Amino acid sequence: MAKQKDVTINRREYERIKKYDHTQMNNYIRSIYKDGFDSGIEEAKNRNEKKDLNMELIKVELSNIKGIGPAKMAQVIKVLEKRIG
């Protein structure tokens, strides 16, 4: 993931924001929040697309955990396949 720059405002924008009344400030803050929220959703989608679950690797990892036998591993795999698809 690339490091993102901090969001900054220039002097002209600062002066403009400083003159906002209550309604204008609410609208401005909501727009910033919405932009951040939308960016977060997009980032989450990109992360989910990058994750590739390999069931064979999961089975190997589960078999290495002490206390998980073949029966319990089969139950876990069944639940994972049901949830993940």
Q: How many domains does the chain have?
A: 2
Q: Do 24 and 43 fall into the same domain?
A: yes
What are the φ and ψ backbone dihedral angles of 9, each rounded to 5 degrees? -120, 150
Does 70 score more than 60 pLDDT? yes
Same domain, 59 and 73: yes
Domain co-membership, 62 together with 32: no
Q: SS3 of 61, please?
A: helix
Is the same domain home to 4 and 24? yes
pLDDT beyond 60 at 67: yes
pTM for the whole structure: 0.49
Check whether 35 has a pLDDT greater than 60. Answer: yes
Whether residues 33 and 14 fall in one domain: yes
Q: Is the pLDDT of residue 54 over 90?
A: no
Q: Are residues 43 and 58 in the same domain?
A: no
| pLDDT computed for residue 30 by the predictor | 97
